[in-house]
Structure 1
Amino acid sequence: MENDRDTLRPYPIDPFQDKVIEKVVFAKRRLIPRLASILFVILTYPLKLLSKHNNKQSALKNNEEIDSTEVPPIYVSTRTATMDSKFYYIIRYSKIWFKPIGAHHNAPYKLFGDNGFIDQFQTPLTSISVDGDNILAIDQNEIIHYAKSNQIICQVSFDCPQWKIIESRVKWTQKWFNMDGVSLIVNLFKNPILKSLKNNRNVCMSHKGLDTMYYTDMNGKKHPDPYVGVTTIYCLNEDGTRIFFADPWLQNKFHNELTTPEDGQFIAESMATSGSTLFLLQRAKNEFGQEINKMYTRFADFDSIGSNPALTSTYNRKNYVPLVRFLPPEDWIQQPAINLHENARLTKNISVFQIGWGQNNRQLRVQGTDSDGNVGFYFKNIYENHWTFQLTNNIEISEEEFLSESIPYIGFAKGPQICFDYTNGEFHSNLKEIHFENIILEKFSHRGLNERGLHTKLILVLSSALPMSIPLYARRGWKSLLGLSKSNIWKLVIPFEYFQSDDREVQLVLEKIFANRFRHNLHVYESKQQIVITNTFLGKSKFKFIFKIKSD
């Protein structure tokens, strides 16, 4: 990307890491897939013969089609019409239909899978979301089903609307927790079915795999995705203030949360995801009655945010060991607003598309009209600064999709405050020579995890120096992976610049309280009356910070 387009990219470029990922990627793309493919063919060849016979019979039986003239072209995803890099998908008559993106523009839609349903009971479907090799469908009972689309082979012609399904192996599942071995036991005691949140605003599929290949952390290190890929389902709740996510290796389903921007007070009207990238939109009207908009993006999944205890990570920026993930992860990035003039308006329909390797290769789209009232969509690369408008006058947008005239001219609404500052904390220790003018716990949320992006800090105000601002992080443990515990692993991470300070008070605090170590394991206890932060008994010195909670 050009220099003027790099301003939104949050991570540095490290040429050494490029060489590391190149070796890993080539191994992944060549050697490992070939060995796995050979083994798979040997083990499944008898079943494949039977499957091909059944698929051919199925294709002959299910020859229903929907004419392309009945379906508007898809440029931006909705609940019932979407696309990935291979196919267009729609829901019509409670069934899923699809056609290849490379097919003729007049090509019809055909039934997806065996009969367009997720089961033989023909349970009606209400919404759909796709990304990478994954497809998600929600039925009338709010149960989420997902399948792979990478075992569908079609024959298309650029000159002829007719196209054929050569092979179609689609296996739907509603059992969400799939951790190898462990899931066989855990699913006996806990319901593995995943249901969407009631009255949600969006449920979106995300899949990182061969299309994205790797991501870059905030220290410039590149990390290849696991060979099985990274699948995440994100759910925006009823009032748009909370984002929950589920991962097939997490039994706790939609109990994992990423806080919305602006310390959790941003209200997202709609959400789109792709390749672990989230895209949020809020529309409003200013005091002059003009339509305005605000958008945020963030790259975040269970692995990249550092909550997966199986993956090695570090808070040390000087750690350049390849494949060791640097934390904290990428934060929310406010995207440039789309300037609307005259007849320009936006709908709430937004999309993210994977267009290459790494999280910098994402395209954002927002459906709307330009200043002349022409229908189309605004688009840009995720880290670019400028939006471009693309005409799509072959589709129509109903008035219901645009911002209602009844919206008050109050600007952007905010959700309830969820994090708070606590001052005048008490310091308990056997160290008599340490004195603080004030102790502050900044942006602490009683929801807990720092994966929610709340930037909690312990601020120690000294008499002779600037306050020491020390980040407080939290991660999930192994028990949380199995849904057996909601307790977190807390860490206090002291910035390295304080160790380079010449101030005597700073040196004394680092030496006496923190034993000159930059990272400390902590216990955080909460009650209705107070918050207690103390180090574990493994430390040389025992310290305790207590913050009183004022009753309303």
Structure 2
Amino acid sequence: MRKYRKNLSKKLLNLYFVSFVLGIFGVLGFSSCQTPQATYASLSADGKFYKSIENSLNAPDSLFLQDNSSEQSINGTYPEHIFIKTRTQTFTKDYEFMIRNGKLLFKPKTENLWKLYCETGIPEGAQSVAEISGDSNCVFVFDGQGRLYRTYTEKEVRKTAASPFYVKPFTWIYLYGWPESVVFKPGVVVNNYRAWAMGARRKDVLWHEDIFKNEHHFGTMGLETIYFLTEKGNEIRFTDSGLPADLSKTFLTPKNGRFIAVNLSNSASTNFIIGDKGSMYTRLIDFDTMGCDPMFFKYTYEPYQSKYKGNEYRSNFESWGLPAEDWYKQPDIKLDGKARLTKFISIHQNGHGNSARELRVAGLDFEGNTGFYSKQIFDAEWTFTKCNLFFTEQDYLSGKSEWGESCEYAFKGSVFENGKNLENISVQVEDFTLANEGSFNLRITMKKDGWQESKSIKFYDVEMWTYMPRFDPGKDGVPKNFFVTPDFSKEDINCEHEEFTELLKKMFDGINRKTFCVKSSATENYLELNWKNSKGLLSANEFKIFMDKSGISGDPGALKAVYMYENPFLQAFNLPEMTFEKAVYTAQDTENLKKAAESNSQYAKLLSGQMKVYNGYRHNTNKSRWEWNLADLVLSVTFLNQIDFPKIKTVSMHSGDIFNTNADSYGLNYEYMSVLYPHVINLAAQRAEKYSKILEKLEKNQTAENLPEYKNDYSEYFDSLCVKDEYKGQIVQEKREGKLLRLKGFPLYPGFVLYTQKKSGEVEQYVILELKNFEKEAMHSLKKNKTDFECDVNFYITAKSESFLSKYFGIQKIEKKKGKIHIDGKKIKIKAGLKTIFEAD
């Protein structure tokens, strides 16, 4: 009876866990995500316009694959066996596959006869297959239009947003990704990729070993990861079957991307790369092992020894050691006589654990015989196996340099304690990367009373999980969010000067190797770190470090808005095909005018579509945040968050941070977009309107003059209206000097900044003025050859008011007031509500 109750309890707990997980990932609105591909595809059927915006836009049809089986069929036309995996020839544990004339053929390893796979050799809906990759019992296939299909040679359990299901062998699966399954197409972020491969880390390899040599069982379903070696050869982008179907996740080749690889192969999440001089590296890494999945796995930076072995399911519940293993340099292959290496490499799993991988490199031996060099991954010696392989001169390694520049970013900035800038403290980082995982060294310097001292603290970072599809976060204006963990010794925070020691202890005491205790957001322009450190039972000091590429000290919120303005989607406004300017147009200019008008019209739709998507993300993540908080309350009250078999405790440990950060991040991104994008959309629509009007004139006349009242940007409008760069005047409510500065460095934004200064010259308070419908008011004045205009104004402050009594320029809650600006030559007046706040003559 006791045994029965024990088994029943386990079943109930497992049932609760399944319901709990489904509650989180089903009820919390995850299924309503819209992918970037779907969004952009709805804007343009062919995607031609978006291809011209280089790495800024995710063109839906950017990847078209040709039949390259003649180049990749190094094992032969109809080989007896496939020894080396290529893009058109591969093998799994029991079968071999190849592409011939756009169709997929296969055979068991024990047989010689090749047959069409699933009778036709082509997935339903595809016209041909172009490239393949196989591992374990799974094969991934891209058709000629770059669409992904999957198939299995054994029954497999897979997951969807609704529930797990079993996949029948020898059938095609058309959809990919989670929580929303879609037709997956890689897109322009991996255009001209050098190589791709998939790896399945599941029951065949059974377990993996972390950095502390602890073995961890694969779990219940494992994962299949697809990896792309990008065009430059120093970055690998990836996604897996349990992630959104995009390639926004990355890691770098050795030495933070300095190593340039020419090819990649993968098995069971172990990447195998080779450079042009024959240097080889391997690394086991995927989304779970790198530390990015704390909702389902526990992680630690503290070394320990697990009591479970990898063949025990319970080992999956033990903490996974971080950081993830680094790249392992493989021994060089000794080349004598006629020996040569090709770029064709292969890796396959052949047992349990990290060491169960065989590496193969195709080439010639010292006598010039074709075949491959092979060894187990951690063996010291390579052996050569003769076999019939077929190479061209282009297949051999060129011997060119394998090393280039790193992918590191350098930032400088300030430290804030409880919102106050610590003026004597500066910080800098010189080795930060935007990869999904990595480390960086933060140098903190105190300079005071004629002395200066610096200390360095090491941080490990892993990207925070998000269920929203993305394009190229960190580089497209949208930040990446990270969990960060400091790693230092006592000597690292003990200084010569006591004041510096006290500060570092206040900042870092108690959080050394405390997993994910610091939150971070970053782009290629800035890095921000935030954390709390207890100063008593019920209180804590809040620390913020903000650094950017310029090193200018300022309001982090304002600086992030500036960098949002620089994102490639907005800068695409200035692409050459967007304008076609002449003093006089003729009928010969018709096609160019049509292209310019269409480009601007499509661009305006693109930005509007992106705003719509991110507004949806904002609502979705905010809804998920509050529903999670409710679920977390129930777990806390019932003490279910203390149960970790099943993983209720693990799921609840970092989920609050993940949901809250996602909601805050997408909310802030949309807020920035809602301020910046509408003005650029208006300018693009105006340009389209201008070119359309010129075309209408050309239909009636042989020539048409340009329309001077239409300007390309707001800077041109201000110049035409003789608006000065700066106005000195009076803050009326406070009866002191103030300045109005035109935001000349932001020609796509119609704005000013109104500010006052201390005697030292430091800015005391400021507010940003956004002119509403300015382009219409400006055109109205220009048509009448006038330079005076009046315009409605929005006020923006970048810091929250300390209380409802807080004032800006003598006005309470100025950001909620209806504003008005009037400029007439040298005179200017600004009102907030009924009160005049600034005047200048």
> Which of 221, 233, 238 is matched with 2:231 structurally?
238
Q: Compared with structure 1, are the counterparts of its residues 430 and 86 closer, same or farther at alpha carbon in structure 2 (3 Å cutoff)?
A: closer
Identity of matched residues, %? 25
Shift of 1:208: 1.3
Shift of 1:301: 0.8
Q: Give the distance between the partners of 2:403 and 2:287, measured in 1 at CA.
A: 29
1:117 matched residue in structure 2: 122
Q: Give the distance between the partners of 2:334 and 2:281, measured in 1 at CA.
A: 16
Q: Give the distance between the partners of 2:524 and 2:343, measured in 1 at CA.
A: 40
Contact 1:247-1:253 within 8 A present in 2 as well: no
Counterparts of residues 471-482 of structure 1 (less than 5 Å): 471-480=459-468
Q: Compared with structure 1, are the counterparts of its residues 491 and 131 closer, same or farther at alpha carbon in structure 2 (3 Å cutoff)?
A: same
Q: Give the distance between the partners of 1:357 and 1:503, measured in 2 at CA.
A: 52
Q: Give the distance between the partners of 2:524 and 2:92, measured in 1 at CA.
A: 48
- The Cα offsets for residues 9-33 of structure 1, whole Å up to 9 and x where unpaired, read as xxxxxxxxxxxxxxxxxxxxxxx9x
> Which of 396, 406, 418 is matched with 2:407 structurally?
418
1:26 matched residue in structure 2: none
Give the SS at the match of 1:263: helix
Contact 1:211-1:356 within 8 A present in 2 as well: yes
Counterparts of residues 20-99 of structure 1 (less than 5 Å): 70-71=78-79, 73-99=81-107
Q: Give the distance between the partners of 2:523 and 2:144, measured in 1 at CA.
A: 41
Give the SS at the match of 1:368: strand
Shift of 1:298: 0.7
Q: Tell me whether 512-521 or 361-370 shows the greater mean CA deviation.
A: 512-521
Counterparts of residues 133-532 of structure 1 (less than 5 Å): 133-151=137-155, 169-179=169-179, 183=180, 191-195=182-186, 197-283=190-276, 292-320=277-305, 322=315, 323-392=318-387, 394-403=388-397, 411-414=401-404, 416-422=405-411, 425-429=413-417, 439-445=427-433, 448-451=434-437, 453=438, 455-460=439-444, 467-480=455-468, 487-495=480-488, 508-509=502-503, 511-518=505-512, 519=514, 521-524=517-520, 531-532=527-528
- The Cα offsets for residues 459-513 of structure 1, whole Å up to 9 and x where unpaired, read as 3468999944321413323445899986413323233565998989696455322
Q: Give the distance between the partners of 2:490 and 2:208, measured in 1 at CA.
A: 28
Shift of 1:371: 1.7
Contact 2:198-2:266 within 8 A present in 1 as well: yes
Q: Give the distance between the partners of 1:431 and 1:254, measured in 2 at CA.
A: 36
Give the SS at the match of 2:257: coil
Q: Compared with structure 1, are the counterparts of its residues 443 and 369 closer, same or farther at alpha carbon in structure 2 (3 Å cutoff)?
A: same
Shift of 1:205: 1.6
Q: Give the distance between the partners of 2:528 and 2:272, measured in 1 at CA.
A: 36
Q: Give the distance between the partners of 1:225 and 1:527, measured in 2 at CA.
A: 33
Give the SS at the match of 2:540: coil
Q: Give the distance between the partners of 1:487 and 1:369, measured in 2 at CA.
A: 45
Counterparts of residues 1-16 of structure 1 (less than 5 Å): none
More helix by share: 2
Contact 1:174-1:194 within 8 A present in 2 as well: no
For 1:345, give the aligned amino acid. Answer: R
Shift of 1:193: 2.8
Q: Compared with structure 1, are the counterparts of its residues 507 and 326 closer, same or farther at alpha carbon in structure 2 (3 Å cutoff)?
A: farther
Q: Compared with structure 1, are the counterparts of its residues 464 and 341 closer, same or farther at alpha carbon in structure 2 (3 Å cutoff)?
A: farther
Q: Give the distance between the partners of 2:119 and 2:291, measured in 1 at CA.
A: 39
Aligned CA-pair RMSD: 3.6
Q: Give the distance between the partners of 2:424 and 2:384, measured in 1 at CA.
A: 56
Q: Compared with structure 1, are the counterparts of its residues 233 and 124 closer, same or farther at alpha carbon in structure 2 (3 Å cutoff)?
A: same
2:570 matched residue in structure 1: none
Q: Give the distance between the partners of 2:353 and 2:153, measured in 1 at CA.
A: 22
TM-score, normalization by structure 1? 0.70
TM-score, normalization by structure 2? 0.47
Larger Rg: 2
Contact 1:91-1:97 within 8 A present in 2 as well: yes
> Which of 123, 126, 131 is matched with 1:127 structurally?
131
Contact 1:426-1:546 within 8 A present in 2 as well: yes
Give the SS at the match of 2:247: helix
- The Cα offsets for residues 104-156 of structure 1, whole Å up to 9 and x where unpaired, read as xxx2112222322112x56211111100111111111011111111159xxxx
For 1:81, give the aligned amino acid. Answer: Q
Shift of 1:346: 0.8
Q: Compared with structure 1, are the counterparts of its residues 528 and 98 closer, same or farther at alpha carbon in structure 2 (3 Å cutoff)?
A: closer
For 1:177, give the aligned amino acid. Answer: G
Shift of 1:546: 4.0
Q: Tell me whether 206-215 or 250-259 shows the greater mean CA deviation.
A: 250-259
Q: Compared with structure 1, are the counterparts of its residues 297 and 461 closer, same or farther at alpha carbon in structure 2 (3 Å cutoff)?
A: farther
Q: Give the distance between the partners of 1:369 and 1:97, measured in 2 at CA.
A: 28
Q: Give the distance between the partners of 2:549 and 2:169, measured in 1 at CA.
A: 57
Contact 1:514-1:541 within 8 A present in 2 as well: no
Q: Compared with structure 1, are the counterparts of its residues 395 and 238 closer, same or farther at alpha carbon in structure 2 (3 Å cutoff)?
A: same
Q: Give the distance between the partners of 1:175 and 1:444, measured in 2 at CA.
A: 35
2:613 matched residue in structure 1: none
Contact 1:431-1:512 within 8 A present in 2 as well: no
Q: Tell me whether 127-136 or 219-228 shows the greater mean CA deviation.
A: 219-228
Give the SS at the match of 1:102: coil
Number of residue pairs matched?
A: 438
Unaligned runs of 5+ in 1: 1-31, 33-67, 153-167, 284-291
Q: Compared with structure 1, are the counterparts of its residues 293 and 449 closer, same or farther at alpha carbon in structure 2 (3 Å cutoff)?
A: closer
Considering Cα pairs closer than 8 Å and 6+ residues apart, tell me whether 1 or 2 has the greater RCO. Answer: 1
Contact 2:458-2:488 within 8 A present in 1 as well: yes
Q: Compared with structure 1, are the counterparts of its residues 108 and 526 closer, same or farther at alpha carbon in structure 2 (3 Å cutoff)?
A: closer
- The Cα offsets for residues 176-223 of structure 1, whole Å up to 9 and x where unpaired, read as 1244xxx3xxx5xxx543346433222212111221001011112211
Contact 2:481-2:521 within 8 A present in 1 as well: no
Give the SS at the match of 1:293: coil
Q: Compared with structure 1, are the counterparts of its residues 376 and 307 closer, same or farther at alpha carbon in structure 2 (3 Å cutoff)?
A: same
Shift of 1:397: 2.5
2:818 matched residue in structure 1: none
- The Cα offsets for residues 326-349 of structure 1, whole Å up to 9 and x where unpaired, read as 211111112122222231111111
Shift of 1:388: 1.5
1:62 matched residue in structure 2: none
Shift of 1:305: 0.7
Q: Compared with structure 1, are the counterparts of its residues 220 and 509 closer, same or farther at alpha carbon in structure 2 (3 Å cutoff)?
A: farther
